[in-house]
Amino acid sequence: MMDGREEAVPVTIDLDQFPAQVGKLIEACEALGCFRVINHKIPVQLMSEMKSIVRNLFDLPTETKRRNTDTIVSSGYVEPTPKYPLYEALGFYGSNLFEAVDAFCGQLDVTVHQRETIKTYAHEVHNLAMEIGHKIAQGLGVEGDLCREWPIQFKINKYSFTKKTLGSPGIQLHTDSGFLTVLQEDECVGGFQVMDKSSRFIPVDPIAGSFLVNLGDVAKAWSNGRFCNAKHRVQCIEPGIRLTITVFILGPKEEMVEVPPELVDVDHPRLYLPFDYQDYRKRRISMGQVAGEALELYTIQNA
C-alpha cells in the first residue's frame, strides 16, 4: 500500500468499488486464491436466519441426517469419522438449484418456512458466486457468461470443538476441486487456515457479515496456471460449535474445463489438457489427492 503498511491477508474486495478493484481482485486470485468480499448485498438477516436453520438441521437425529444421501461423491451427509471425529456435513448437488433444494428438504424434516429461507439463501449466494466469477473472467479479459450453467454444490459444516480438542484437525488440508467457493464463516469460532506460497498457514479470523472466497482446482486450470488454488484446512483453535455454509461453483457439466484462447499466447503456452470436471473430481478422491496434486494428470509438457 502507499503508506508502506501491508493490508491484512486475505485481502478484502469491496464489491461496490468496481471496476476500480479489478486489479486487486486479480492479484488476490494470483497470490493466495483466497479473499474476502464485502458490500455483497446479501442481507445479514438472511445470513443469520440461514445459520439458525443450519443449527437445527445438525440437531436432527442421525437416522434423519442419513437420509441426505449423495448425488455425487460426498455431496450428502458426511458423518464424523475416526480420523475426523469433530466434523459433520450435510448438503446437496444439482444443476437446477430449486429442484436440488426441494430434494434436500424432502430428505430432512424441514418446515415450509425453512425451505423458503434455504431457497432464497442458496439462490442469492449462488448469484453472488456467479457475479464474482464474472468479475474474475472480465478481469482477465475473457468475455462471456462463464459459469451460469454450471452445477452447484451446497454444503453446511459443523465442527464440535471443545477444550479437549484444541490443536486437533477439523478438516484436512485440501483445495476445493471446482472453480470457486463462497463461504459464510462462523461469526465467533475461528480455525480456518489458508496456506501461502511459502507453505505457511495464515489464520483467517472471521468477520461477520462478509463472505470468504476460495479458488479451486478448476480456476487454476482454467486460468492457464495464473490463479492459485487455495490450500486450506480447519483446525480447532478454540472451543465451541463452529458452523459454516459453503456454496461451490464446480465446473462445466456438458463441456470440458479448458483454458480460453484469450489466455494462451507464445509467452503463455497452454499448460493443461482439456478435462471433464466429473472425471477429475472422481480421480482426485480415488487417488486420495485432495490438495490439487491430481491436476498434474492434465499438464502438458511444453518442451
Ligand X SMILES: O=C(O)CCC(=O)C(=O)O
Among residues 132 and 271, whose Cβ is nearest to ligand X?
132
Closer residue to ligand X in complex, CB, 75/244: 244
CB 114 → ligand X: shortest distance, Å? 21
As a dihedral over the C-alpha atoms of residue 191, residue 284, residue 92, residue 218, rounded to 10 degrees, the angle is: 80
- Is 36 a binder of ligand X (CB under 6 A)? no
Q: Does 124 bind Fe ion (CB under 5 A)?
A: no
Alpha helices in 59-96 (DSSP H): 62-65
Can residue 176 be called a binding residue for Fe ion (CB under 5 A)?
yes
Which of 34, 75, 90, 176 contacts ligand X by CB under 6 A? 176
**For residues 75 and 246, which CB has a smaller minimum distance to ligand X in the complex?**
246
From the list 234, 236, 250, 259, which residue makes contact with ligand X (rule: CB under 6 A)? 234
Work out how close the CB of 274 gets to ligand X at its nearest, in angstroms, rounded to a whole number: 25
C-alpha torsion sign, points 192, 126, 178, 34: negative
* Concatenated DSSP letters of 150-196: S-EEEEEEEEEE-GGGTT-EEEEEE--SSSEEEEEPPSS---EEEE-
Which H helix or E strand runs over 213?
A: strand 211-215
By CB under 6 A, is residue 246 in contact with ligand X?
A: yes
Report if residue 157 touches ligand X, rule: CB under 6 A: yes
Report, in Å, the least distance between residue 154 CB and ligand X.
10
Tell me: does residue 185 bind Fe ion (CB under 5 A).
no
Rounded Cα–Cα distance for residues 143 and 109 (Å): 43
Report the distance separating Cα 22 and Cα 35, nearest Å. 13
Q: Which of residues 178-207 bind ligand X (CB under 6 A)?
A: 183, 192
3-state secondary structure of 241: strand
Q: Is 284 in the site for ligand X (CB under 6 A)?
A: no
CB closer to ligand X, 42 vs 156: 156
Contact stretch for Fe ion (CB under 5 A) within 57-65, 91-99, 174-182, 192-200: 174-182
Q: Is 158 in the site for ligand X (CB under 6 A)?
A: no
Q: Does 220 bind ligand X (CB under 6 A)?
A: no
Contacts of 85 (CB under 8 A, 6+ apart): none
CA distance 158 to 167: 17
Task: Check residue 297 and give left, alpha or beta (phi > 0: left; psi -120 to 50: alpha).
Answer: alpha
Residue 42 φ/ψ region, left for φ over 0, alpha for ψ in the -120 to 50 degree band, beta for the rest: beta
User: Cα angle vertex 205, ends 174, 155, to 5°?
Assistant: 45
Q: Which does 192 bind (CB under 5 to 8 A by kind): ligand X, Fe ion, none?
A: ligand X
Of the candidate residues 126, 135, 232, 281, the single one contacting ligand X (CB under 6 A):
232
Interface contacts to Fe ion, rule CB under 5 A: 176
Q: Which stretches of the chain bind ligand X, using CB under 6 A?
A: 155, 157, 176, 183, 192, 232, 234, 244, 246
